Structure 1
Amino acid sequence: MPALDPEELVAQVRAYNPKSNSDLIRAAFDYGRRMHEGQTRQSGEPYFTHPVAVAHILAEMRLDDATIITALLHDTIEDTGSTYTEIATQFGADVAELVDGVTKLTNLQLSSTETKQAENFRKLFMAMSKDLRVILVKLADRLHNMRTIRAMRPEKQAQKSRETMDIFAPLAGRMGMQWMREELEDLAFHVLNPDARSSIIRRFIRLQKESGDVINKITTDIRKELDTAQIEAQVFGRAKKPYSIWRKMQEKDQSFSRLSDTYGFRVITQTEADCYRVLGAVHQRWRAVPGRFKDYISQPKSNGYRSIHTTVSGRDGKRVEIQIRTKQMHEVAEAGVAAHWSYKDGVKSENPFAVDPAKWIAKLTERFENAEDHDEFLENVKLEMYTDQVFCFTPKGEVVQLPRGATPLDFAYAIHTRIGDSCVGARVDNIRVPLWTRIKNGQSVEIITAEGQSPQATWLDIVVTGRAKSAIRRRLREEDRERFIKLGRELARVAFDHVGRKATDKALETAAKQLSIGGPDDLLARLGSADLAARDVVAILYPDAVDPGTTITGDRAVIGLEPDQSFTIAGCCQPVPGERIVGITYRGRGVVVHSIDCHTLTELADDSSRWVDVHWHSGKHAAVHTVTLELTISNDAGVLGRICTLIGEQKANISDLHFVDRKQDFFRILVDVDLRDIEHLHAVMLVLEAETDVASIRRHRDLTRAP
């Protein structure tokens, strides 16, 4: 527990900033302690221990006085009788603005419903663009709360940990503070999957007993090579965090024993030239692993990160990951964007690699400006926050920075929307490749265009950048707009007739205004594209006229067919009410209903005569629509029974269940669940995802099943 004595904090700050205003820090300490007097945390400790701990975390990052003082006062406006004016008067407008910004962030429910979450993410990024120090205080606040999370109720622990894993840890990583990202992830992992974490730690202990002190042995090996090459450098080694190992096990579908690079090593040199000398010495001594070399010195990340990464086959054939950087590069690697405010000997650190926060946030947010709706904005934010970067080149040698997993189509749209829209092919390193090829670091990409080409709906499954997805959707919307408006008008007519009303222009205009949609045509286009349900439009205008009690049976679920046509639901994609669908005619079988994003449809793209424009009947559907879920669960007594109970509590029926994979610690199972609609599916998946013994859950689609 932090001591409630300002001198400890003052001494910590003065150690890196002798010119610090110690009296102002003491005044803020006394003010915060007085404001929080009588308040306690869940653990029973005085509440003010929390702001003090947050201030110490930020002092460890060597931040400026304003940020330290903000940490001490960050909960005063929210939880005490303090006001913005009072703080501005006593501590200055800069501190008051920061405290106000942190207060507003505290009130954002970032893990709420998707639409609300998207709007709150907008506010989060607005706060970031105003002053990034607000986010630094918020991240330190979350870090201390996660360190002391055991005092909370179990359900609150799970909610905060999921929010940390989904939002705050990736944000810390995106800001370059990898140490904070790793600690936040591991603390959340401890809550969300304690059995998996304990299992990994136990295996580490067993591995250490079997092979001895591997870190010390490999560190000694590296130092010997550097001494031989007469290179002055420091060498550090560490075991990777349990969550990092768990994530690799999931991504590679490998057991712990098959993972090779569970240790990481870092070499800190004096000069940039020495970094490359170290690389030469390491590669001369050990065999480099192909595809595992990255040079972030010649191509830095957008948050200022510079380092050389290489993986070699080291002692006893074990893979060893080595990061090589200078001391200045290491400071930025530890602090990330926060290095801009870092102090040394009373002045801001003149680190040449620290990025300008204003330029960084402008670059981060430029992709969001064209997002036209909540879902699109949220998708763009998460793509920017969660992905690492690759660097590729135009034929003229210009560098293009893209997220990992990007394709030539992403590259084309990064150059210009016009280039992306007219793309018909690509060459990577002068070799013609499919548009879905994943670009690797250092490759040269050339885009082939043609007049008359336009984006295809299937491109949405190929691209990964928010910019490309937005541009493709916008163009598809433009091309389909007239068709969607016509279809939407018919859907509106049927829905309004159903409750004895008319879909007049005035009614549609009023509904559009209530939904914050541009106008009647925009409303109809959204209805036609299945972005909006006609029943919801009717419910906004005539809530009493909508009868929620009528249940739509499976044989009446789909409308848009001819009187003599029958339909079945495709087993490959298993669409459910609420998802956009299309019908395909099969000789002797009638119409088979597919999800619009089903890969089976790509084979039939040119045979438009077989396509039937169908949609789900508006209303409450019976729970007869089967969806297959793939779950990875702990191999422990009672877990499977608990999973089945949770599904039953959501009024969903399990129609089939079988085991796909059995491992020592975990089972992978496929569960067929009968559901009402997409909302019912989300509810079931959400309650399962919150279960401690469920390591992962996803919707399983089997393209081998006959449509």
Structure 2
Amino acid sequence: MKAAVESHDAKAGKPPAYVVALEDRLSYLPAAQLALVRRAYEVGARAHDGQTRKSGEPYITHPIAVAGILADLGMDVETIIAAILHDTLEDTPLSPDELTTEFGATVTELVDGVTKLDKLHFKNRQEAAAESFRKMLLAMARDLRVILIKLADRLHNMRTLGSMEVGARRRIARETLEIYAPIAQRLGMNRFKAELQDLGFRALYPDRHRVIAARIRTVLGNRREAMGKIEASLEARLTAEGITHRIVSRIKSPYSIYTKMRGEQKSFAQVMDVYGFRVVVDSVMQCYHALGAVHALFKPLDGRFRDFIAIPKANGYQSLHTVLFGSFGAPIEIQIRTADMDAVADRGVAAHWSYKDGSGPGNSAQNRAREWLSGLVDDQTRTASSLEFIENVKIDLFPDEIYLFTPRGRILSLPRNSTALDFAYAVHTDVGSHAVAARVDKKLAPLRAPLTSGQTVEIITAPSAVPSTQWLEWVVSAKARTAIRHFLKRLQHEDAIELGHRMLDRAMDALGASLEVLPPDALTRYLEENKLRALEDLLADIALGNRVADQVARALMHMQEGFAASFRPHAAEKILITGTERGVLTFGNCCHPVPGDEIMGYLSTGKGIVVHRIECPNVAEYRAFPERFIEMAWDRDVSGDYRVELRIIVANKPGVLAQVAAAVANASSNIENVEYKERDLMTATLLFTIEVSGRKHLADVMRGVRRLAVVNAVYRHPI
């Protein structure tokens, strides 16, 4: 290989224009280092000889372009050489030993690190891909330049994506938006992040990008005069204060507008309804001086000031952020920072690059990136699974997800705003179905407690615990929601069969018959004629109100000749309920029945039985449909808590609500809701929605509330 390179060198003439252009951009390097760059081009050109890109250009134009992107960042000679040769180990016969002999071990390590990242497919959760990702992160931890080369490589690939076929374009664009842009953001490289996002958005959703970009141009054209006036006012004020400064207007990108519209459910006009400016000054003290100046010029909006200088972001970003209210009817967003901070905000870890064996102080983004990567190295030594390691890394890369730990250190990813109950189902469906509480960072918490990234969560279970419909309000993950619904559907079916059996038995008994003595062929014929697969389907239909038990009983009685004649009808017994039939029983919100009340049931199609108090004002209407009116009563053993409303008339004084709430809680009742219904100078009427186990419990609650001196009267609502 070396002889071949030397032969190529001998024949080499004037370098192509793109090489000359690269050398011009590298004018900050000494002459000896520029000679090394020229040598790297010659080796790379020879290695890639005969290879072309999809566009038909010689392949070497790509690594030269990658080196040019890094040259614009002012990167050192080793980074530039590694960029020129970054594809040689994977795509050419050039060996690591030859590379080391020619350019040194550091360049070989950089090229090797980038090569491993190229082999990674992030959509693939296989162990091999995760292990490759782990190795790449470790290479980054040893040398940040690995990821800088890869990001420049991806940026040039995105700039030249048009020559790829549609499927490949979409795949690469999605990977860019999901992986590379977040990595650039995590490293503080906002210039790279912004261009990667814009190019990825354009390739993935070309129509959406075109429409939003056109609307941005229209809005900016309409606002040019207003923005000019605001900028002139800022300019005059800062000059009067003697602050050396530079003002730059800020324009939102199509991708940032698109994500805000989707994530915050805002219209385009709402997202764009703001004027943005960046003020760059000479020193930190001038940042705060400029802040005072702009606050004197325009009124600041309360609660919209952020000091990222005193407390930098995780990626090293520093700036003062404030939002002002100007005379043009829209907020004015101002960012104030020094020139150094501006460079770090733009280039992140690549700003002011000086690499001296990793011993240089570096900028804030470099220091924080190294701390982050150092933490990852520590984590990976304690994590046997590469899959867990990659999940750990994603904590910082994907803000739309949270990452949580089990007590044994397993990492689970969940959607943002997930609760302890979501976590329980993520551990295992059986754990979720029997969950009763959680310990979050060793502190007891309810299942509905929201979680944040990094917490350790332990789920407390009980064999008797089962999901309820209320759980659906506490979860956000698809897995938890699906599991709860499946359980409730199965529970409803089982409850429906059991309750339907009781209803049909009651109806048959009222006719002087029973299912047990019904001839099997009569039942079989009825099921076939009504297209029912089994008796269980018939019973469930009865409980859900799709069939009336009395009508089914009569039909069954007449399915066989002579069968009905041997039985005599009598008064039907009441159906007894225990409260465990929640899958097919609901309790009327109009009267809120509780155990101990006299009750009746009304069969509602598709909903099952709705239980009402006998004194409910709607009962008279239900009696007009005797086939759906069901005589019911509470069984001896009743379980569960039942919602009831109390109307409480109190003195209109400060602290009354707290006193009443405390009295309710002291009686061991949960408060679901409180609202003021009426209020005047002397009295107020409160409507408490509480949970009780029965009439006796309700009486205890009312007695405790009635004892308060501030309470004039307590009534069960409706009376």
Q: TM-score with structure 1 length normalisation?
A: 0.56
Question: Aligned partners of 1:266 and 1:205: how far apart in 2?
Answer: 20
Q: Which amino acid aligns with 2:254?
A: P
Give the structure 2 partner of residue 413 of structure 1.
none
Is the deviation greater in 61-70 or in 281-290? 281-290
Give the structure 2 partner of residue 12 of structure 1.
25
CA contact (8 A) 1:341 1:349 kept: no
Question: Aligned partners of 2:72 and 2:237: how far apart in 1?
Answer: 33
Aligned match for 1:464, one of 440, 452, 456: 452
Determine whether 1:286 maps to 2:335.
Answer: no
Per-residue CA deviation, residues 155-187 of structure 1 (Å, 9 max, x unaligned), is 000000000000000100000001111110010
Partner of 1:235, secondary structure, is: strand
Deviation at 1:349, TM superposition (A): 8.6
CA contact (8 A) 2:119 2:132 kept: no
Question: Aligned partners of 2:275 and 2:376: how far apart in 1?
Answer: 31
Deviation at 1:386, TM superposition (A): 2.9
Question: Aligned partners of 1:95 and 1:114: how far apart in 2?
Answer: 30
Determine whether 1:32 maps to 2:51.
Answer: no
Deviation at 1:4, TM superposition (A): 5.0
Aligned match for 2:584, one of 589, 611, 614: 589
Give the structure 1 partner of residue 568 of structure 2.
none
Question: Aligned partners of 1:366 and 1:88: how far apart in 2?
Answer: 29
Give the structure 2 partner of residue 70 of structure 1.
82
CA contact (8 A) 2:213 2:254 kept: yes
**Structure 1 residues 555 and 252, CA gap change in structure 2 (3 angstroms):** closer
Aligned match for 2:331, one of 305, 319, 334: 319
Q: Which amino acid aligns with 2:26?
A: V
CA contact (8 A) 1:310 1:323 kept: yes
Deviation at 1:328, TM superposition (A): 1.6
Deviation at 1:457, TM superposition (A): 5.1
Question: Aligned partners of 1:349 and 1:360: how far apart in 2?
Answer: 17
Aligned residue pair count: 450
Q: Which amino acid aligns with 2:263?
A: E
Question: Aligned partners of 1:237 and 1:451: how far apart in 2?
Answer: 45
Question: Aligned partners of 1:456 and 1:376: how far apart in 2?
Answer: 27
Deviation at 1:123, TM superposition (A): 3.4
Per-residue CA deviation, residues 247-271 of structure 1 (Å, 9 max, x unaligned), is 1112221211222455532111111
Question: Aligned partners of 1:45 and 1:371: how far apart in 2?
Answer: 44
Partner of 1:234, secondary structure, is: strand
Give the structure 2 partner of residue 659 of structure 1.
none
Question: Aligned partners of 1:278 and 1:9: how far apart in 2?
Answer: 39
Give the structure 1 partner of residue 261 of structure 2.
249
Q: Which amino acid aligns with 2:241?
A: A
Determine whether 1:185 maps to 2:197.
Answer: yes
Is the deviation greater in 111-120 or in 29-38? 111-120
Q: Which amino acid aligns with 2:172?
A: K
Q: Which amino acid aligns with 1:34?
A: R
CA contact (8 A) 2:190 2:346 kept: yes
Question: Aligned partners of 2:441 and 2:123: how far apart in 1?
Answer: 44
RMSD: 4.4
Q: Which amino acid aligns with 1:181?
A: K
Q: Which amino acid aligns with 2:296?
A: Q
Aligned match for 2:234, one of 222, 247, 258: 222
Question: Aligned partners of 2:298 and 2:254: how far apart in 1?
Answer: 27
CA contact (8 A) 2:379 2:389 kept: no
Give the structure 1 partner of residue 601 of structure 2.
none
Deviation at 1:298, TM superposition (A): 0.5
CA contact (8 A) 2:76 2:353 kept: yes
Question: Aligned partners of 1:31 and 1:80: how far apart in 2?
Answer: 11
Determine whether 1:149 maps to 2:144.
Answer: no
CA contact (8 A) 1:337 1:354 kept: yes
Deviation at 1:334, TM superposition (A): 1.8
Aligned match for 2:146, one of 130, 134, 137: 134
CA contact (8 A) 2:488 2:583 kept: no
Is the deviation greater in 20-29 or in 203-212? 203-212
Per-residue CA deviation, residues 519-576 of structure 1 (Å, 9 max, x unaligned), is xxxxxxxxxxx99xxxxxxxxxxxxxxxxxxxxx9999999989976899xxxxxxxx
Q: Which amino acid aligns with 1:240?
A: K
Deviation at 1:3, TM superposition (A): 5.4
Counterpart mapping for 1:86-125 below 5 A? 86-113=98-125, 118-125=130-137
CA contact (8 A) 1:174 1:386 kept: no
Aligned match for 2:34, one of 22, 32, 38: 22
Question: Aligned partners of 1:406 and 1:274: how far apart in 2?
Answer: 39
CA contact (8 A) 2:495 2:583 kept: no
Per-residue CA deviation, residues 586-641 of structure 1 (Å, 9 max, x unaligned), is 346399xxxxxxxxxxxxxxxx988xxxxxxxxxxxxxxxxxxxxxxxxxxxxxxx
Deviation at 1:321, TM superposition (A): 1.8
Question: Aligned partners of 1:560 and 1:125: how far apart in 2?
Answer: 51
Question: Aligned partners of 2:322 and 2:114: how far apart in 1?
Answer: 39
Q: Which amino acid aligns with 1:463?
A: L
Deviation at 1:384, TM superposition (A): 0.9
Per-residue CA deviation, residues 216-243 of structure 1 (Å, 9 max, x unaligned), is 4432222111112221111111311111
Counterpart mapping for 1:356-395 below 5 A? 356=367, 357-363=369-375, 377-387=389-399
Q: Which amino acid aligns with 1:10?
A: E
Give the structure 1 partner of residue 366 of structure 2.
355
Give the structure 2 partner of residue 401 of structure 1.
none
Per-residue CA deviation, residues 450-479 of structure 1 (Å, 9 max, x unaligned), is 9995465545xx2221x21xx21xx33xx6
Question: Aligned partners of 1:41 and 1:213: how far apart in 2?
Answer: 46
Deviation at 1:13, TM superposition (A): 2.0
Aligned match for 1:202, one of 179, 198, 214: 214
Question: Aligned partners of 2:279 and 2:489: how far apart in 1?
Answer: 67
Q: TM-score with structure 2 length normalisation?
A: 0.55
CA contact (8 A) 1:110 1:120 kept: no
Give the structure 1 partner of residue 629 of structure 2.
none
Is the deviation greater in 291-300 or in 199-208? 199-208
Counterpart mapping for 1:53-64 below 5 A? 53-64=65-76
Partner of 2:318, secondary structure, is: coil
Could you tell me which runs of 5 or more consecutive residues in structure 1 were left unpaired when the two chains were aligned.
390-403, 410-434, 437-448, 484-529, 532-552, 569-583, 592-607, 611-707
Deviation at 1:383, TM superposition (A): 2.5
Determine whether 1:277 maps to 2:289.
Answer: yes
CA contact (8 A) 1:14 1:20 kept: no
Deviation at 1:354, TM superposition (A): 5.1
Question: Aligned partners of 1:563 and 1:322: how far apart in 2?
Answer: 62
Question: Aligned partners of 2:149 and 2:580: how far apart in 1?
Answer: 58
Q: Which amino acid aligns with 1:277?
A: H
CA contact (8 A) 1:110 1:163 kept: yes
Is the deviation greater in 106-115 or in 147-156? 106-115
**Structure 1 residues 342 and 150, CA gap change in structure 2 (3 angstroms):** farther
Deviation at 1:313, TM superposition (A): 2.2
CA contact (8 A) 2:113 2:146 kept: yes
Q: Which amino acid aligns with 1:136?
A: L
Q: Which amino acid aligns with 1:141?
A: D
Counterpart mapping for 1:515-530 below 5 A? none
The structure with the larger Rg is 2
Question: Aligned partners of 2:442 and 2:361: how far apart in 1?
Answer: 52
CA contact (8 A) 2:319 2:341 kept: yes
Give the structure 1 partner of residue 247 of structure 2.
235
Deviation at 1:333, TM superposition (A): 1.6
Could you tell me which runs of 5 or more consecutive residues in structure 2 were left unpaired when the two chains were aligned.
1-14, 402-414, 421-436, 464-478, 481-485, 499-535, 541-578, 587-637, 641-719
**Structure 1 residues 42 and 227, CA gap change in structure 2 (3 angstroms):** same
**Structure 1 residues 450 and 307, CA gap change in structure 2 (3 angstroms):** closer
**Structure 1 residues 160 and 213, CA gap change in structure 2 (3 angstroms):** farther
CA contact (8 A) 1:13 1:20 kept: no
Question: Aligned partners of 2:377 and 2:359: how far apart in 1?
Answer: 26
Q: Which amino acid aligns with 2:262?
A: Q
**Structure 1 residues 315 and 381, CA gap change in structure 2 (3 angstroms):** farther
